Amino acid sequence: MSSTSYRIPVVYTEEVREALHEGRPVVALESNVITHGLRFPENAETARRVEKAVRDGGSVPATICVEDGVIRAGMTERDIENFASEPGIPKVSSRDLPVVLARGGRGATTVASSLVAAELAGIPFFSSAGLGGVHRGAATTMDISSDLIQLTRSKVAVVCAGAKMILDLKLTMEYLETHCVPVIAHGSDDFPAFYCSSSGVRAPHRIDDEDMIAKVVATHWATGHPGGVVVTTPPRAEDAVDSAEAEAAIADALAQAERDGVGGQGLTKYLMHAVDRATGGRTAQANMAVLISTAEVGGRLAAAYARHLS
Ligand code: PSU
Ligand code: MN
């Protein structure tokens, strides 16, 4: 098998295939947030509401996963229920993807691997609540989420509420700047912090006009840039968590992680869950709300992009 003749199989749901064929807007979504980010049964309910939000925004949702060694672009209600309820489905990031595909395996895609999949599937928009980024203490741990690296390589626009608040958001912004990834803030001056409205870091550009954002995305790719664009949208005021409260819980969670010797690919989930326990479930609630509100903006922006191209 020569490397040029081997094509990665992508299996589309009929709805997604038809939408792409007809040039209608589609938004890709990750599945790792279903298996690792949230708990059953809220994860299944949230995944369904996220898909509905993409539709409300005027696009077709395509939740991405790996099943039987193929990339699925679009999951049925039943697939989502299975992923949400079955324990032990592995987190598959970009570095894991070839192994899981080649072995005919199954897995839940992170932002990074969902971007690889979306590009292969011909879907130029993706939405999630909070990107992975540069972890606090990365100067010694070198823990930088491959979400950021993949953003420099996949031609997919990513709509999100910034990056997760457990991270070092100042360094995350530095990373994106160094690697030439445009960051456009929609609806706020600052780069949002996932379930908090502001990271305290000003975004390089604020654009509220959605047609202009579509034009920026198209222009980025017209310049021949191989990577993505980050478009942020802040959490709705009623969903946002107070940042002082979140910060205190994060400080405790980081200390706990250090005591328990947690690092590597399990760290993000560990921290998110520790913060959630410390806030009495408040941050998981906010996480779900932000996933949904972001998906609707993603749906609108993908629709604006499709109009721009037509
Ligand atoms: N959202 C959550 N919890 C998560 C994630 C998202 O509420 O665990 C996942 C996303 O799939 C993201 C990944 O791509 O965390 C980043 O993990 P890491 O920091 O190990 O790269
Ligand atoms: Mn990591």
Q: What residue type is assigned to position 240 of the chain?
A: A
Instruction: Tell me, using a 6 A CB cutoff, whether residue 37 lines ligand 1.
Output: yes
Can you tell me the mean pLDDT for 189-199?
95
Q: Which residue has the tokens 């193929």?
A: 70
Q: Which atom of ligand 1 is nearest to the CA of 111?
A: 14
What is d(CA 91, CA 105) in angstroms, rounded to the nearest whole number?
12
Angle at 133 between CA 120 and CA 223, to 5 degrees: 50
Instruction: Tell me, using a 6 A CB cutoff, whether residue 113 lines ligand 1.
Output: no
Secondary structure string (H, E, C) spanning the chain:
CCCCCCCCCEEECHHHHHHHHCCCCEEEECCHHHHHHCCCCHHHHHHHHHHHHHHHCCCEEEEEEEECCEEEECCCHHHHHHHHHCCCCCEECCCCHHHHHHCCCCEEECHHHHHHHHHHHCCCEEECCCECCEECCHHHHCCECHHHHHHCCCCCEEEECEECCCECHHHHHHHHHHCCCCEEECCCCECCECCECCCCCECCEECCCHHHHHHHHHHHHHCCCCCCEEEECCCCCCCCCCHHHHHHHHHHHHHHHHHHCCCHHHHHHHHHHHHHHHCCCHHHHHHHHHHHHHHHHHHHHHHHHHHHHC
pLDDT for the residue numbered 8: 84
Q: Which residue has the tokens 């328990």?
A: 260
- Please identify which of the residues 51, 67, 91, 164 carries the catalytic annotation: 164
Can you tell me the mean pLDDT for 104-114?
98
Q: What residue type is assigned to position 246 of the chain?
A: A
Q: Tens of pLDDT along 136-193?
A: 999 999 999 999 999 999 999 999 999 999 999 999 999 999 999 999 999 999 999 9
Q: Is the dihedral of CA 253, 255, 257, 263 positive or negative?
A: positive
Residue 2 C-alpha to ligand 1 middle, in angstroms?
Answer: 34
Q: Is the pLDDT of residue 1 over 70?
A: no
Residue 143 C-alpha to ligand 2 middle, in angstroms?
Answer: 5
What is d(CA 181, CA 85) in angstroms, rounded to the nearest whole number?
36
Confidence label for 56 from pLDDT (cuts 50, 70 and 90): very high
pLDDT for the residue numbered 6: 77
Residue 132 C-alpha to ligand 2 middle, in angstroms?
Answer: 8
Q: Tens of pLDDT along 281-309?
A: 999 999 999 999 999 999 999 999 999 99
- On the CB side of 101, CA atoms within 13 Å amount to 20
Q: What is the dihedral of CA 205, 206, 209, 210, to 10 degrees?
A: 70
Q: Which residue has the tokens 């070839």?
A: 98
Instruction: Tell me, using a 6 A CB cutoff, whether residue 43 lines ligand 1.
Output: no
Q: Is the pLDDT of residue 200 over 60?
A: yes
Is 238 part of the annotated catalytic residue set?
Answer: no
What is d(CA 254, CA 3) in angstroms, rounded to the nearest whole number?
43
Q: What residue type is assigned to position 298 of the chain?
A: G
Q: Which atom of ligand 1 is nearest to the CA of 108?
A: 11
Is 42 part of the annotated catalytic residue set?
Answer: no
Residue 61's contacts (CB-CB under 8 Å, 6 or more residues apart) are 26, 27, 29, 50, 51, 54, 55, 74, 295, 299
Can you tell me the mean pLDDT for 272-276?
95
Can you tell me the mean pLDDT for 217-236?
97
What is d(CA 192, CA 140) in angstroms, rounded to the nearest whole number?
25
